[in-house]
C-alpha cells in the first residue's frame, strides 16, 4: 500500500512536521526530544538555515 | 660583509625564536581529552580487543579448559602533514629596513605559533564534530595509498560512525550490538544521567561481552552550553525543582569547554585520555631560503600529527549532526 503523507501544523510555531506512516521530520530540539522520548528513533539530524532538522522513524 | 646563507640562517633562527614565544602562550584542550603519544613511522595500528575470557573454576582432577584468543578489528592512525608558507620578494628584503623586516617576520612567526595550535585543535575536534556522520568522514580514514589500508575506511574500526545511533549499532567481536549516540537529547541533569548510565551500565563490555569498569569523568561542551553545564554540575539542589531535592550529579563529571566544537547544542560525555589517541609525529619545522630562479625569499612551516579512535565505549554523544 502506498504511504499516505499529510502536512500538519502544530501549536509550536517553530516546529514543522511531515507525517507519514513511518517517518517524521521536525525542526527544533524540544520537539525532537519529545518525539524521541515517545519512542521514535532518530535516523538523521543536520543543520539547516532554519535550525537543526531531525528525521525520525517509527519503531515497532 | 654578510653572505646570503648567513642571512637565511639568521632568519630561520629568529623565526623559531618568535614562533616558540607565541606557541607557549596557548594552552590547547586536546591533550586533556586525548592520550598524546609520539609516532615514529608513517602510521600506527592496533588490534582491538585481543584477549581471553575469565578464568573458569576447575573441579579437582579435571583438565584446564582452554580459552580461545580473540582477535578484534584493527584501528589505524596515519601521520598527516600540515604546512604553510609565505614569500618576500628580493626587492622587499633589500629595501626594507632591518627593523621593519624583523617586525614583519616576528608577526608571521607569532601567527604560526597560534595557527599550529588552532590547526591541531580543529583536527582533534573533528571526531566530535563529524563523529556522528552516517557516511563517515576523512578524519577516520587512515589509508596511505601503497603503504597501509585502513580496513574501516571513513569510519572507526567497527565500520560504523564514532557515535553510532541505535539502529546503526557498533557490533562487538562476540556479536553484541551497542550504540553511543543518544540522539535528540538536550543537556539536562536527567539526560546527563542517561548518558552516564549508557557508558557505565550499558556499554561497559569488552569485545567478548565481558563486563569492564568504565566511568566517564568529563563533559565536553561548546561555549553555548557553558552556563547550562555549570548549573547542572555545580548546584547544591536539583535545578528547576520545587522540593529542594539534592542534586545527585553535582560534581559528577568535570566540564571541558571546547571552542572548536561546531555543534552549538551537541554535547559529549566520556573519560579523559581513554579511547582516543593523538599522535605527535613531527614538531613544527621552520625553513627560510631563497629561490634561485625567482630570487624570492620563502619561509615554510611543516608539522605532522594524526589521531586514532581505539575504543568508542568511553564516549557518548547527544544531539549531534549525522550529515
Beta carbons within 8 Å of B186's beta carbon, 6+ residues apart: A29, A30, A33, B265, B318, B319
Q: Out of B71-75, B137-141, B215-219, B270-274, which region has the weakest mean confidence (pLDDT)?
A: B71-75
Among B166, B184, B263, the residue with its CB nearest the CB of A54 is B184
How far is the alpha carbon of A19 from chain B, nearest alpha carbon, in Å? 18
State pLDDT tens for residues A16-54. 555 555 899 999 999 999 999 999 999 999 999 999 999
Q: Which residues of B are less than 8 Å from A32 in CB distance?
A: 183-184
Tell whether A29 lies on the interface with B, counting CB pairs under 8 A.
yes
Per-domain residue ranges of chain B: 30-43+71-98+120-318
Comparing CA positions, the residue from B181, B252, B187 lying closest to residue B224 is B187
Taking an 8 Å cut-off on Cβ atoms, the answer to whether B165 and A43 are in contact is yes
Comparing CA positions, the residue from B231, B196, B236 lying closest to residue B214 is B196
Comparing CA positions, the residue from B168, B156, B188 lying closest to residue B308 is B156
Mean pLDDT of B280-304: 94
Q: What are phi and psi of B212, to 5 degrees?
A: -130, 160
State pLDDT tens for residues B224-268. 999 999 999 999 888 877 788 889 899 999 999 999 999 999 999
Taking an 8 Å cut-off on Cβ atoms, the answer to whether A43 and B321 are in contact is no
Tell whether A57 lies on the interface with B, counting CB pairs under 8 A.
yes
Q: Measured between alpha carbons, how far is residue A44 from residues A25, B186, B202 in Å?
A: 9, 16, 23
Secondary structure of residue B147 in the 3-state scheme: coil
The predicted pLDDT at position B106 comes to 86
Amino acid at each position: 500500500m502506498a504511504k499516505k503523507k499529510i502536512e500538519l501544523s502544530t501549536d509550536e510555531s517553530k516546529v514543522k512536521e511531515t507525517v507519514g506512516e513511518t517517518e517524521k521530520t521536525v525542526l527544533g530540539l524540544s520537539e525532537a526530544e519529545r518525539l524521541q522520548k515517545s519512542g521514535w528513533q532518530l535516523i538523521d539530524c543536520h543543520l539547516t538555515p532554519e535550525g537543526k532538522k531531525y528525521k525520525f522513524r517509527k519503531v515497532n | 660583509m654578510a653572505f646570503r646563507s648567513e642571512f637565511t640562517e639568521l632568519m630561520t633562527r629568529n623565526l623559531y625564536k618568535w614562533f616558540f614565544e607565541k606557541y607557549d602562550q596557548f594552552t590547547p584542550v586536546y591533550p586533556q581529552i586525548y592520550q598524546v603519544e609520539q609516532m615514529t613511522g608513517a602510521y600506527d595500528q592496533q588490534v582491538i580487543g585481543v584477549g581471553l575470557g575469565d578464568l573458569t573454576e576447575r573441579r579437582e582432577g579435571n583438565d584446564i579448559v582452554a580459552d580461545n584468543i580473540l582477535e578484534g578489528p584493527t584501528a589505524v592512525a596515519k601521520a598527516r602533514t600540515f604546512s604553510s608558507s609565505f614569500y618576500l620578494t628580493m626587492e622587499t628584503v633589500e629595501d626594507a629596513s632591518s627593523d621593519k623586516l624583523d617586525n614583519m617576520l616576528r608577526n608571521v612567526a607569532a601567527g604560526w605559533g597560534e595557527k599550529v595550535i588552532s590547526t591541531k585543535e580543529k583536527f582533534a575536534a573533528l571526531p566530535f564534530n563529524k563523529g556522528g556522520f552516517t557516511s563517515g568522514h576523512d578524519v577516520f580514514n587512515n589509508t596511505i595509498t601503497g603503504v597501509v589500508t585502513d580496513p574501516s575506511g571513513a569510519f572507526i574500526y567497527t565500520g560504523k560512525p564514532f557515535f553510532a545511533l541505535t539502529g546503526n549499532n557498533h557490533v562487538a567481536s562476540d556479536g553484541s550490538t551497542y550504540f553511543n549516540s543518544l540522539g535528540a537529547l538536550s543537556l539536562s541533569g536527567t539526560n546527563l544521567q542517561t548518558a552516564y548510565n549508557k557508558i557505565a551500565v550499558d556499554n561497559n563490555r569488552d569485545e567478548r561481552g565481558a563486563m569492564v569498569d568504565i566511568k566517564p569523568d568529563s563533559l565536553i561542551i561548546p561555549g553555548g552550553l557553558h552556563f547550562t553545564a555549570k548549573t547542572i554540575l555545580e548546584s547544591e539542589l536539583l535545578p528547576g525543582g520545587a522540593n529542594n531535592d539534592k542534586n545527585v550529579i553535582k560534581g559528577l563529571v568535570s566540564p571541558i569547554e571546547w571552542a572548536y566544537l561546531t555543534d552549538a547544542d551537541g554535547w559529549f560525555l566520556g573519560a579523559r585520555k581513554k579511547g582516543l589517541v593523538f599522535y605527535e609525529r613531527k614538531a613544527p619545522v621552520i625553513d627560510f631560503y631563497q629561490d634561485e630562479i625567482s630570487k624570492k625569499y620563502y619561509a615554510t612551516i611543516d608539522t605532522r600529527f594524526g589521531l586514532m579512535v581505539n575504543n568508542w565505549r568511553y564516549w557518548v554523544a547527544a544531539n549531534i549532526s549525522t550529515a
